[in-house]
Structure 1
Amino acid sequence: MKVSIIGSGYVGSVSAACFAELGHEVICIDVDEEKVKMINAGKAPIWEEGLDGLLQKHSQKTLIATSDYEYAVANSDLSFICVGTPSGEDGGIDLSIVKAASASLGAAIGKKEGYHVVVVKSTVVPETTEKVVLPIVEEFSGKKAGRDFGVAMNPEFLREGKAVYDFMHPDKIVVGAIDERSGFAVAELYRGLDCTVTRTNPRTAEMIKYVNNSFLATKISFANEVGNICKQLGIDTYEVMDAVGTDFRIERRFLNCGAGFGGSCFPKDVRALIGKAKGMGYEPQLLDSVVAVNERQPLRMVELLQRKLGHINGKRIAVLGLAFKNDTDDIRESRSIPVIAELLRLEAIVTAYDPMAAGNMKRIFGNITYCSTSSEALSGADGCLVMTEWEEFGKLDREFEGMKEKIVIDGRHLLKPEKLTARIDYEGICW
């Protein structure tokens, strides 16, 4: 089949490369000419494991990029909207880019002969596909949805850093369409994958995405709340969760406590669902608590450090880990951000190290010292906060000997102090 993908971020570039790998002809559409050039040269516009290889394999063969909507729509059967939906000031999502993409698509569809399917893959709150995207495409195309063109919602369930693998090995594929023809067309794209396609309507598909992420976020905040209680009682929360997780109704994953969740999905999606609920007059108390626990959790790291140091003013503090998770350079909603902000408010001297994300964090904090190794960040430090679960941090040992005061607060349960040769004053955030 012939597919066009609007947006070349995490979702768009991965979807484009993977659809090409499944044997489809793909055209990427992006207003950023630099991204267009990169994709046409077989280079990924973002870092994602396995993405470069797929782009090198398919670029200029069954995958090309352009900024020309008319060309892309004329030469494809389906168009996926994969643009960003950032959080607005009120916690709701900003649909301005989705609306602009819908208008451009509509204009292009208006000049095309034959049936075309518009597929929303961007994460949007329930009713957006039917009440926002569909009418805009109708307005700008002069055509009628369900008769002249199709509309569907196909949410993504991809982990950053593992997005290519997740796309090719899905645990679920959800297609919500306004009619049978649209749904069938989207489902056919995934025929090469070993996964049942769940067929539903657009607003249900939108809700499945939000519920999926909100539930996982809830598990994390629940684990952190329990971890905070366990710490006060001298109980190993990981031992508790290992036992609780054996219950098939609960399952062990996402019950690790720590500094909280971040990234482009969980925080934004929970807030968006909260905003949607409140907009209908319903107060989602549980979801409000999920966000509240997550916002408070990383600051406990600083509080634990203060208890040990007495004060932080003028102290040199090493922050290990800037990305919101390991295996990515993405810092969106990283738990390191509120921690660094609090350290600076308390007038600490901050040194930081991350294997991949330092360049991105420099755009937020230009007044801290970025180091090229953990040893450099730890050298002369009065304290250390471990914020991201990079594998290399779990292997640190002699590097701590360069610290002035060997105080280490672990936010990701990475270190095993009893196995270290270096003598450190170690404390976990919840253990």
Structure 2
Amino acid sequence: MNISTFGLGYVGGVTAACLAKGSHNVIGVDVKGEKVEMINQGKAPFYEKDLDNLISQAVEENRLKATKDVKEAVENSEISLICVGTPSNPDGSLNLDYVKKVCEDIGTALKYKNEFHVVVIRSTILPGSTENVLIPILEKASEKKSSGDFGVCVNPEFMREGQAIYDFFNPERIVIGETDKRSGDHVAQIYNDIHATVIRTDIKTAEMVKYVDNTFHAIKVTFANEIGSVCKRLGIDAHEIMNIFCMDKKLNLSPYYFKPGFAFGGSCLTKDLSALLSKAGELKLSCPLLEAIIPSNQEHIDKVVELIISQNKRRIGVFGLSFKSGTSDTRESPVILAINRLYEKGYAKLFEKGYEISVFDPNLDKSDMENLPSNIVPLLSPSLEEVVEKSEVLVIANNDKDFKRIPSLMREGQVLIDLVKVIEADEVKDGEYIGVCW
């Protein structure tokens, strides 16, 4: 394919060189003449392991060249990859000036091009930026319409400095956010020679993925440092601790716990985190990340309570009282906390006849009743069907397989609030479906 890359900095330079190593012909575009000259001389404009050799070979074989001429690059390519920087403004907000300028320039060039062309955003931009800001700029400058006259996709990069070339050719996944299938097909062809899972998704999802990645990387570093500080004060080797921690691929380093849903609970997590924070306090250590976990969890419970209240309905059915499915353990159950918060907020007073809550949990038996708060026991119902029948709002609080039957029992006017994504929205034919985080 004939490809143009806009921006010959770290992302654009590596991307251009790697694409030219394969079966593609690449034109790199940059406003800085010195970068253009260096590329055309077969030299890397910055240091990255093996990049000089890659560029030198590609230029020698006439598969890579650079220019400052946007019109030339667009005319002689099928796809344009935008790889310019998106720095922070002084207030921390995202600065899209460079991306907007490139889109305006590409749009102007597209005005005079008859062939279908795909514009690909590879720069890191916030969700909504492409659809709300960049596509309108492209359409205005080109006097054409996207998903018809030209295509737009988002293709985030996941390269590490120092390992960028390896990462390009050996990605964990390739993400393509597309406005239409035709455009996505064009972008997917770029990676025909690379063996990796290609994920075709919508534009905003592709924009968001990079932020999730980088935010989690920042959390991991901060988490390790705060744990390290506590370990040092206690005379424990923090590196040995984290090596042991990372050996657990079942829970610690796995997709487990990475599903948005309800708050955490149970007899261990809150208790052990509280104990660790108490010890850190004794040691006069500040651990801002760890200290924020329990308040964030409590705030999530409050959000669920507010979501229930916002339905303005009196009869509430709760499915699942234990803190997770497959157990009857209700210690520190966030569901019980949510029910108690409803009463604390005086929600019962909103209705003349009070507030009715019914609870069904298939894992609870008589021996579990003595461990429940006294105000919860009277709420328990013997069957799922009974709770569905007498409730206006249905709240699924854990992913017990029995709860999959609920949509088939619903009627018009009922609202299903799913806290664990045990139900898909299209399964609810009668009534309304609301996911707590989706």
TM category (shorter chain) comes to 0.5 to 0.7
Q: Which amino acid aligns with 1:251?
A: L
User: Aligned ranges for residues 201-350 of structure 1 at < 5 Å?
Assistant: 201-248=202-249, 249-251=251-253
Whole-angstrom distance in 1 between the partners of 2:70 and 2:5:
10
Query: Partner amino acid for 2:253?
Result: E
Structure 2 residue 26 is the aligned partner of structure 1 residue 26: yes
Conserved in 2, the CA contact under 8 Å of 1:85 and 1:122?
yes
Match of 1:52 in 2: 52
Alpha-carbon separation, structure 1, partners of 2:49 and 2:123: 21
Q: Which residue of 1 aligns with 2:429?
A: none
Give the letter for the 1:187 counterpart.
A
**Corresponding residue number in structure 1 for 2:404:** none
Q: Hey, what's the Cα distance between the residues in 1 that align with 2:63 and 2:150?
A: 24
| Alpha-carbon shift at residue 128 of structure 1 (Å) | 0.9
Partner of 1:36: 36
By how many angstroms is 1:251 displaced?
3.4
The amino acid of 1:44's aligned partner reads: A
Aligned-pair CA distance for 1:288: 11
1:175 to 2:160 alignment? no
How far 1:250 moved relative to its partner? Answer: 2.2
Q: 2:161 and 2:87 mapped to 1: Cα distance?
A: 17
- Between the aligned partners of 1:18 and 1:57, the Cα distance in structure 2 is 11
| Letter of the 1:154 counterpart | N
CA contact (8 A) 1:172 1:196 kept: yes
Q: Distance between the aligned counterparts of 2:291 and 2:53, measured in 1?
A: 41
The Cα shift of 1:100 comes to 0.4
How far is 1:238 from its partner?
A: 1.1
Give the paired residue count.
258
CA distance in 1, matches of 2:58, 2:242: 44
Distance 2:76 2:122 in 1: 20
Sort the Cα spacing of 1:236 and 1:131 in 2 relative to 1 into closer, same or farther, 3 A.
same
The letter for the 1-side match of 2:39 is I
Residues 124-153 of structure 1: per-residue CA shift (max 9 Å, x gap) = 111111111111000100000001000000
Supply the distance in 2 between the matched residues of 1:163 and 1:133 (Cα, whole angstroms).
27
Residue 65 of structure 1 pairs with residue 66 of structure 2: yes
CA distance in 2, matches of 1:193, 1:155: 16
Q: Which amino acid aligns with 2:68?
A: S
Cα 1:11–1:91 shift into 2, 3 Å? same
CA distance in 1, matches of 2:290, 2:148: 39
* 2:9 alignment partner in structure 1: 9
Secondary structure of the residue that 2:27 maps to in structure 1? strand
Residues 225 and 234 of structure 1: is their aligned pair in 2 closer, same or farther, counting only changes over 3 Å?
A: same
CA gap of 1:250–1:141, structure 2 versus 1, over 3 A, is same
Structure 2: which amino acid aligns with 1:224?
Answer: N
Aligned-partner Cα distance in 2 for 1:191–1:250:
34
C-alpha RMSD over aligned residues: 1.8
Q: Give the AA of the match of 2:34.
A: E
SS of corresponding position for 1:59: helix
Report the AA paired with residue 6 of structure 1.
F
Show CA shifts across 1:364-384 (max 9, x none): xxxxxxxxxxxxxxxxxxxxx
Instruction: Tell me what 1:277 maps to.
Output: none
CA contact (8 A) 1:218 1:287 kept: no
1:279 counterpart residue number: none
Structure 2: how far apart are the matches of 1:21 and 1:179?
Answer: 28
Secondary structure at the counterpart of residue 153 of structure 2? strand
Q: Contact 2:223–2:289 (CA<8 Å) still a contact in 1?
A: no
TM superposition score normalised by structure 1: 0.58
Contact 2:222-2:289 at 8 Å conserved across structures = no
The code of the aligned residue for 1:222 comes to: F
Do the aligned residues in 2 keep the contact of 1:83 with 1:122 (CA within 8 Å)? yes
Where in structure 2 are the equivalents of 1:353-372 lying within 5 Å? none
Q: CA-to-partner distance for each residue in 1:295-342, whole Å, 9 max, x for gaps?
A: xxxxxxxxxxxxxxxxxxxxxxxxxxxxxxxxxxxxxxxxxxxxxxxx
Distance 1:111 1:288, change over 3 A: farther
Q: Deviations over 1:389-410 (max 9, x none)?
A: xxxxxxxxxxxxxxxxxxxxxx
Task: Tell me the CA shift for residue 109 of structure 1.
Answer: 0.6
Aligned equivalent of 1:100 = 101
The alignment's TM-score, normalised by the length of structure 2, stands at 0.57
Q: What is the CA-CA distance between 1:48 and the residue it aligns to?
A: 0.4
Query: Residue in 2 aligned with 1:123?
Result: 124
Amino acid corresponding to residue 42 of structure 1 in structure 2: G
SS at the partner of 1:91? coil
Whole-angstrom distance in 2 between the partners of 1:16 and 1:286? 39
Aligned-pair distance for 1:44?
Answer: 0.5
Distance apart, 1:289 and its partner CA: 6.6
Could you tell me which residue of structure 1 aligns to residue 311 of structure 2?
none
Which structure has more relative contact order (CA 8 Å, sep 6+)? It is 1
For residues 123 and 291 of structure 2, what CA distance do their matches in structure 1 show?
23
Contact 2:3 2:27 in 1 (8 A): yes
- Offset from partner CA, 1:89-143 (integer Å, 9 cap, x none): 1112111001100100100011111110000000111111111111100010000
**Higher Rg of the two aligned structures:** 2
Alignment of 1:113-192 (within 5 A): 113-192=114-193
- Cross-structure match for 1:81: 82
Cα distance in 2 for partners of 1:158, 1:289 equals 30
